Amino acid sequence: MSIVKGLEGVVAAETKISSIVDDQLTYVGYSIDDLAENAKFEEVIFLLWNKRLPNKEELEQLEQDLYENMALPQGVIDHFKSYEIHKVHPMGALRTAVSLLGLYDEEADDMSEDANKRKAIRLQARVASVVSALSRIRDGKEVVQPKAGLSYAANFLYMLKGEEPNDLEVEAINKALVLHADHELNASTFTLRVCVATLSDIYSGITAAISALKGPLHGGANEAVMKMLLEIDEVENALPYVKEKMANKEKIMGMGHRVYKTGDPRAKHLKKMSKEITALKGTEKWYEMSVKIEEFIKKEKGLPANVDFYSASVYHSLGIKHDLFTPIFAMSRFSGWIAHILEQYDNNRLIRPRAEYVGPEKQVYTDISER
Ligand SMILES: CC(=O)SCCNC(=O)CCNC(=O)[C@H](O)C(C)(C)COP(=O)(O)OP(=O)(O)OC[C@H]1O[C@@H](n2cnc3c(N)ncnc32)[C@H](O)[C@@H]1OP(=O)(O)O
Ligand SMILES: O=C([O-])CC(=O)C(=O)O
């Protein structure tokens, strides 16, 4: 048996959802650049789930369905109030909340296509409410109900902050949601496919995926980037800081990627947004620091900035708490995860690779009194 460590380069599934070729990302054949500039996140959800863009009526119907399904079961709100939520990481709270939502869903184990489509809407709608509710509850604030007529991005910010966001704030979150929606067979999507290929349910799959996204080598990197920027604090400290990290063989968060070698096509959109929003909010130093780090690491190690790098300064400048950065990534990625679950069910085979045993052999059992 030959082992490919980290499964690098191994092709383990066929997909019609997204593709990375020559460092270009497409969703169902549409360039991420086109979508980031023009699309509403709701259009991307429809695209990933139906493999075509919606017409006006279909989009309005999806928006209405999402809005109508945003309210959380009271049991989930009560659950958030039942433990010291301010002491746990929101990704842990989100992971448990999704599992709990499954217990409130009478169709959780109904594997029919129609039931799965209804659950898809419920999950996508409710993740925005879960992230905003857990944030408000830990801050001792009332949970805010969604508002009719607001887009998904605007409603998330409205439920999070309790006031309607301005156009630039909505544009920033909408763009981030579009850019994070899907990414071929990344670690969390692979985890989810392994899970649902046993014919386990959609809630189990998403719970598994959240668990994988949480780690700092994957979705958790956006929060780690902000932690690094805060440690650096001033633009002139950026290069001495990263030089020291590299001398200690430590990784620079938000840099590098398993698949992209020349650049992550999503990063430039977030970089542009970071420049714009930090200028507007008077937080330019986070953008300037990020540019210095990006240029240095590219020159020294040839590593590109990934999607998590500039999202940090964007979210920070929107006044979002740093431990909500990865839950926001998850909120967007729900759309891609759900598409992958439905695709896996459509053409399923159990995923079960092999491992090469390298431990001791021919051991002889001895009685416990002799050990
Ligand atoms: C949404 C996402 O999940 S995007 C990725 C988010 N993760 C991060 O930003 C964390 C930082 N980046 C990394 O840890 C890596 O680049 C990963 C996990 C993204 C990809 O990892 P892999 O493809 O397994 O690359 P691996 O970790 O083996 O690194 C290969 C080489 O590049 C170096 N390298 C990779 N990333 C970095 C980095 N961020 N900083 C410094 N060096 C790095 C490694 O030290 C290694 O160098 P060596 O060959 O001299 O030992
Ligand atoms: O594809 C990957 O390995 C990680 C990534 O960028 C993502 O999930 O968006």
Q: pLDDT tens, 300-342? A: 999 999 999 999 999 999 999 999 999 999 999 999 999 999 9
Q: Mean pLDDT for each consecutive 10-residue tract of the chain (371 residues)?
A: 92 97 98 98 98 98 98 97 96 98 97 97 98 97 97 98 97 98 98 98 98 98 98 97 96 97 96 97 96 97 96 97 98 98 98 96 97 95
pLDDT confidence of residue 225: 98
pLDDT confidence of residue 2: 86
The CA dihedral of 159, 115, 17, 99, to the nearest 10 degrees, is 50
pLDDT confidence of residue 190: 98
Q: Which of 257, 269, 316, 340 is catalytic?
A: 257
**Within 69-166, where are the H helices?**
74-81, 90-103, 113-138, 152-161
* Shortest-distance Cα residue to atom 2 of ligand 2: 186
Known active-site residue 257: yes
| Closest ligand 1 atom number to CA of residue 255 | 39
Domains and CATH numbers, the chain: 19-217+323-346 (1.10.580.10), 221-317 (1.10.230.10)
Distance CA 39, CA 79 (A): 35
Distance CA 134, CA 81 (A): 9
- Judged by its nearest atom, the ligand closest to the C-alpha of residue 181 is 2
ipTM of this predicted structure: 0.98
Convert the pLDDT of each residue in 83-122 to its tens digit: 999 999 999 999 999 999 999 999 999 999 999 999 999 9
Ligand 2 binding pocket includes 326 (Cβ within 6 Å): no
* Cα torsion angle, 351, 352, 354, 360, sign: positive
Known active-site residue 110: no
Global pTM value: 0.97
| Closest ligand 1 atom number to CA of residue 183 | 1
Ligand 1 binding pocket includes 256 (Cβ within 6 Å): yes
For 19, the enclosing helix (H) or strand (E) is strand 18-21
Distance CA 222, CA 83 (A): 26
pLDDT confidence of residue 259: 98
| Closest ligand 2 atom number to CA of residue 187 | 3
